[in-house]
Structure 1
Amino acid sequence: MSQKSKFLILNPSPEDLDKVLTKSNLQYTKNGPFEATILLGDVLPSGSNLPKVQLEGSTYFCEGKNGVSENISISTDSLISVDKNLTFMKSAVNVLRLTSGLVVMMVSGNPSIPKEELINQVKEVKVKVDILVTYEWPKTIAYIEQLTLVGSEVIDQVIKLVKPRYHFAVGNITGKFFELEPFAWDSGEITRFISLGQEGTGSKWFYAFSLGLIQEDVLKLRENPFTIQTKKRELEIVEDKAETKKVKVVSPESCFFCLGNPKIEHHMIVSIGANAYLTIAKGPLTRSNRNLYFSGHGILIPIEHIPTIRSKGDIQDNPIYKEIIKYQQSLVSAFFEQKPSYRLVFWEVSRSTNVHLNIQFVPVEEQFLGKFAPSLSSRTKANNIKFTKNHKLNFHKFIDLQDPKLAGIINKSDYIMFTIWTNPTEQEIHIAELDDASKPIDIQFPRRVLADTLNLRSRVYWDKCQQPKFKEIEDCEEFKKFFHNHDFTIS
């Protein structure tokens, strides 16, 4: 089990803020320490006085719907210290990364903030958010409870973008306690929505819980209210003009994987061939250790901006496919020669809607390899039973890359594929055909399987595993040394 952090969420009455903060200190002493205490609603609205009670633990709040106290010394900083351990988060969208690695997003309730500006700021957040705090409820959940005045369509957009593990709100000045059953997103995240009443109203106004980096499975899930179509929404759709959904087109100049992108991170590139190149992964699943001085998590990428291998024809005569296989064979040979206790596992999510094809791989110590099949089985079962909106997965096993049936799938279909190189000439391939383009898939599925296999469940999301640039440079240089004698691109 991973270590969990404790959190305390409170909805204080501004008139009795000192009383609430005194109770917060008592909870901190008895049941803490809390990694963070979060205050909801109108904590210090316009015209209010600053509290006199000094807090024991780090406590955060943002602006509600009724302004902010003139007694707070506003500066250009986004985080403003009101008093010891009491921090006002000033921005429209505030992101706080805690020492545990958990991330909190607090969204201002200021109604004068332009909706588009707020949504654009949320879209700029590139880390996975664990706890979301807003003033209003999502309109969808408010509709379920027939409380239309507490909901906001903007918050619907926010929660769909963020997909937090916990979402706290109040809805209005007095608040209301309400807890929605947990629900899952098609991409695998599970969200709990909790609203608190204000202290003194007779409604529950506090909530304490523990949270670890690893998302735990939940046995009982309700339908996701943001993905099911209610009768009301169906009527609204009929009334609206039908619009064709446009697929976002990413040009090579702005594609993260294209060498022509002026912002490409050259310090991560290990090798460049005629049709493909090799790079270390950003936010690697595996980490360097005493046995391996670099993470070993790499990516093979076609130089040409294509979504799938079959975009350039059947694999039998496809130069990109042939060079990617050559890279795989060379990498496997390098590991067998220098680190024979490791096996390489490659994975690929091939869809015609991809922006740019990429094949990732990680080294797996032989002692862990036996866990791959059970991990694949359990994750497939979870995908097919718990996440009913997802494309159902059915993996087939092959033991030869030249198998005509395997080639037929690669040449004609979308798919998810794992390739385990048991030695430099033998492979074990597990492939699931994706034959329904209308069904979403969990893009993190392969990484979840490998995270389970390697007991690295806290490292499923790459953006929570990012390394400083100096470490990326160090990893890349170590990888180059390791691969040098097997790099066929070096003349």
Structure 2
Amino acid sequence: MSHSSKQKFLILNPDPKDLEKTVKLSNSLQTKKGPFDTTIFLGDLITKDNAGLQETQTPETAIYFTEGQHKFSLENHKNDKLSFLGNSGIISLKSGLKLGYITGRLSDISDDELKTTFEDKEVDVLISFQWPSIIANEEKLTLVANSKLNQLLEWTKPRYWFSVGSETGRFFERLPFSWDEEQNRITRFISLGVHGSKDKYFYAFNLSLSPADDKLSVKKLGEKPKPIQAIISNVGRSAASVVPQNKRPAEESLEKQAVKKERKPVSIENCFFCLSNPTVELHLIVSIAETCYLTIAKGPLPMKNPLGFSGHGIIIPVNHFPTIKKYKESEETGLSKIEESKLFLEIAQYKSSLVKMFKSLGDYDVVFWDISRAKGIHGHTQFLPILSYNSAHLQETIDKQIEFAKQRYHNGMDYIKFTDKNDEKLSEIMNDSDYMSITLAKSETDQEIYLFKIDDENANIDMQFPRRVLAFLLRLTRRLHWTKCRETVDQESEQKAVFQEKFRPFDFTLQNNK
């Protein structure tokens, strides 16, 4: 094969705060490993928050770049050798190879615009800021992901896809995979760390003008990324669903149940919690196990506390069942008690890990709460850390809120307090009745469980009761309703990032994969 049938590419992820340093590196690589036909810089290269590149700092070759998470600043763009591609599009290089690009500010791009720009338009190289979620999900790195990019993978079938994931970057190189048995088209996905970090921050490669030649350099092929629906079905999860974005919190759906006695059943296609939906808000997810997953809460009760994040989260079964009992009856019919089910045990593992994590961060106890009703929608358990000095007032606050609930819903509420989570009476109620529970976990073994047996399945139950208790306990009554506590996607992503970093040492799903 002649040299002219190959094109040399250099991809770098620069530190925007020291762009001159990356340009010097690029110039050095041009001399040592080049010359390169095409050079591309990733990430947030020139924004209003950085100085850009001065006219005296001259790249030896033209450099293409696009936006990261921040808007490109024309004011700081002072060098003709740096070529801004735009928000999204496909260009033809001099060789005829196709370069696709898309900004990290994906909320600014509509689905119609994505479809018009990329649908059924194969590219040779694709650059983005975030990862497609179907690849990030494989590595349980949902913070770096955006589900909008999944469509681009199928539409463009890039031979090389480069991204960074976040401002700090992360190096990752996935095994290449083929789109057909003949291996006539192969895709490689590579994420780069930021220049100056310990991670690999540049990538140089040759690219043939013919995609069929790519297989000659492949030593080992991996599997094609599975759509989220397929990943879920492989572990016994429910079928794909379509979930409206920004409409998945428990409070909204459960509050409607409390008000309306007559309502249409909520199907998988309209469930806020079904993970199998391709547009599910993966930026909220902290960890995924086999039968359940852990996510931060939308509209968290507290704002950032001394921990640096709210700590309010949810443990959600992957399968579309209102209760663990319904799950057991459908998935593990041979078991006599819900406590023996995989779902119950994995939820317990998450609870144990959360207690350990928050104890490692300070004098925190953890409150867990759930409402288990056969006529419910999609069962889940919420949790929140509280400082231990507040724990002494939890029962008193519960009692006061019971009186409030009686006045509002005209329905008596009463609880049984358990201090032994293995109590037979507790097990009997959980296996045979609808119930609401609030659990104060001072440690993995020292726990107080307040169990409210729901005898009348049609009774008007205050679905906000546990959150109401905690709102009054923590003097956060202005944040009682989640709709008054909404955060932006960036704020949610930041919350999840801190949470996930703190939880990582205690995440049993990662430990099992080591």
TM-score by length of 2: 0.47
Larger helix share, 1 or 2: 2
TM-score by length of 1: 0.49
